[in-house]
Amino acid sequence: MSAKRIGELRKKMRRENLDALIVSNLDHVRYLTGFTGSAALLLITGRKADMFTDSRYTEQADKQVSGAGVHTVKGDMLAALKDFPGFHAANSRYGFDSEHLSVAGRDRAKQALPKVLLVPAANVFAELGWVKDAIELKHIAHAAHIADLAFERVLGMVAPGVRERDLAAELEYQMKMFGSEDPAFETIIASGYRSALPHGVASAKKIKKGDLVTFDFGAKVNGYVSDITRTVVAGKATPRQKKIYSLVLKAQVAGIKKVRAGIEAKKVDAACRKIITKAGYGKNFGHGTGHGIGFFVHVGPRVGAASPDKLMVNNVITIEPGIYISGWGGVRIEDDVVVTRSGGRVLNKAPKNLLEL
């Protein structure tokens, strides 16, 4: 698998007239080699791939890394490239991911490889991991299942007086107990007026009776993530809460029904946005409808009004419309959806009817 993924990158390298590619992002390194350590650099040339790490990970790298030779170095790995003469050919074009390598990192690479021309090559990485194979889909589905199970366990804790942070801690604990490596991202628990914050990570705020409570979270299995959002009410829902929830759910279902291979992603966004806008809440839905997930929490295709992307078979995307009203609260509902030729297959099974707890 690693050799195949590296081979696909080599095809892009040739199209961009690159002699080598410096892979500095740890998620990309893991995706391409299987290495899970916290210190690594991968250098891919036309004929081979070499991964660099430090002495903490020598044994781990020998066991995990596939498709690349392993080198243990001391100190900064970019600076250590100066000690490998095979990478110093004059006027070679070395691509680097300008989305992830800092200016300081680029400068260190330039000092280590003074005869090499460093070329920004973020576009080479642009579609990395968008289309999944059967094993990847299995891991994502497992991560979605873990998230569903953990959410079910945590619902019984939702009550006035409970802190958002306590819910987040329990949710992440339950996901780990069900087999998640780590949370897919920082867990969002936002209640009451804070539920109007699309990325309101869990705070010390205590839930109050009647609060909307938004959960946005995900599990990770073998590096592959899930991303789910559910909104519940701590008590009896008001007519206004029921109305907003119903609109968001209607929009979300419409977006899912629009999913199929070959469709422009912006048309999926439009299906959700049309319902919310027609109801008079267009200005309260400020973000895109979704994004790709997989080995990374946010990859393509982007599902938004200005997205240039088209959906492809075995993309996995989120569909997550929301309505956010400052000072009052918000509702978001999100599922992970596999793109097929005939439609979208929803991975999450957690209930989407409005739960009054």
Task: Give the other-Cβ count within 10 Å of 337's Cβ.
Answer: 25
Q: Report the pLDDT value the prediction gives residue 297, as an integer from 0 to 100.
A: 84
Q: 134-346: same fold as 2-125?
A: no
What stretches of the chain adopt beta strand conformation (E)?
20-23, 41-45, 49-53, 69-72, 93-96, 117-120, 188-191, 212-217, 220-221, 224-225, 228-233, 290-292, 299-303, 316-319, 322-325, 329-332, 335-339, 344-346
Print pLDDT tens along the chain (357 aa).
788 899 989 999 999 999 999 999 998 999 999 999 999 999 999 989 999 999 999 999 999 999 999 999 998 999 999 999 888 889 899 999 998 999 999 999 999 999 999 999 998 988 888 999 999 999 999 999 999 999 999 999 999 999 999 999 999 999 999 999 999 999 999 999 999 999 999 999 999 999 999 999 999 999 999 999 999 999 999 999 999 999 999 999 999 999 999 999 999 999 999 999 999 999 999 999 999 999 888 888 999 999 999 999 999 999 999 999 999 999 999 999 999 999 999 999 999 999 999
d(C-alpha 337, C-alpha 259), whole Å: 8
d(C-alpha 10, C-alpha 203), whole Å: 45
Q: Report the pLDDT value the prediction gives residue 296, as an integer from 0 to 100.
A: 81
Q: Report the pLDDT value the prediction gives residue 222, as an integer from 0 to 100.
A: 93
Q: Where are the domains of the chain?
A: 2-125, 134-346
Measured in degrees and rounded to the nearest 5, phi and psi for residue 236 equal -85, 130
**Fold for the domain defined by 2-125:** Creatine Amidinohydrolase; Chain A, domain 1 (3.40.350)
**Fold for the domain defined by 134-346:** Creatine Amidinohydrolase (3.90.230)
d(C-alpha 280, C-alpha 110), whole Å: 54
